[in-house]
Amino acid sequence: MDNVLTFKRGRIPLLISMPHAGLKLTPVVEAALVDEALSLPDTDWHIPRLYDFAAELGASTLAAEYSRFVIDLNRPADDKPMYAGATTGLFPSILFDGVPLFKDGQTPSAEERARYLQQIWTPYHQTLEQELQRMRDEFGYALLFDAHSIRGHIPHLFDGRLPDFNLGTFNGASCDPELASRMEQVCAAAKDYSHVLNGRFKGGHITRHYGNPANNIHAVQLELAQSTYMDEFVPFHYRPDLAEPTRAVLKPLLETFIAWGQERFG
């Protein structure tokens, strides 16, 4: 495998994880995809660009380079389901719309997928774990923000239309409740946007596995409706006219995360 992730170390104890931003495909996966999947419709498009103010804040960033169609970095290695009802697994077999991902008889082999687990999934999680541990050792605590986006209306996965800002803390298990409350207040103050805490998206494997308040590691996931910053359909253009007002909420959201940590841990 060539480069499987992009990691930039910051100067404060905040790590922004972007596990679904990758666009690369392996030759085996690319050759097997159905036509509807070739545009990579289920990607968390433009997330690194949307959060490019992270360096100014001093946060560390970790972004995937490979598409979730190869392997989903926000699923556990044992592929235990994250949500009740329709969902996608460690090795997705369907698009979010329910269409089969691969042509008949061309699903990647177990051996090929074992290679993806070893060479793509494992390095991402090793980097994530090591950076959180470094932060906790250096600062006494670590903050993890798992950044995602999705189309606001996908009937196969959820009823109705998603709120714009979907905060997830695994029903309060991944971070301090005061932190979650403060972040929800930031979203509530953004009158042009809707929000929910622990709605349809409560946090995937990364939030659930690494969030450990008892060990001073606090994790929050944000699933952002893509209509807040881009065109949701091909060719998935980034829309600065939409993105800038959204970034004006995202930045104070993360500043609130940082400030809470400084107040709590000094």
Candidate CATH numbers 3.40.630.40, 3.30.70.3280, 3.40.50.1580, 3.30.470.10; the one for domain 3-263: 3.40.630.40
The reply to whether the predicted model has a pTM over 0.85 is yes
**Per-domain residue ranges of the chain:** 3-263
The whole-chain average pLDDT of the chain stands at: 96
Let me know: does 68 contact 43? Beta carbons within 8 Å. yes
Positions of E strands within the chain: 5-8, 14-18, 60-64, 142-150, 165-168, 195-197, 217-225
- Report whether the peptide linkage leading into residue 213 is cis, meaning its omega lies within 30 degrees of zero: no
Note the maximum CA span of the chain.
57
Q: Which two tokens stand for residue 49?
A: 């660009």
Q: 78 and 205 in contact (C-beta within 8 Å)?
A: no
Tell me the helix, strand and coil percentages in the chain, rounded to 5.
35, 20, 45
pLDDT tens column, 22-53: 999 999 999 999 999 999 999 999 999 999 99
Inter-residue contact 42 to 86 (CB < 8 Å): no
- Is 187 within 8 Å of 220 (Cβ atoms)? no
pLDDT single digits (tens) 95-106: 999 999 999 999
The pair phi, psi for residue 161, each rounded to 5°, is: -115, 135
* Spatial separation of the C-alpha atoms in residues 248 and 266, rounded to whole Å: 26
Helix (H) or strand (E) holding 260: helix 240-265
Percent of the chain exceeding pLDDT 90 equals 91
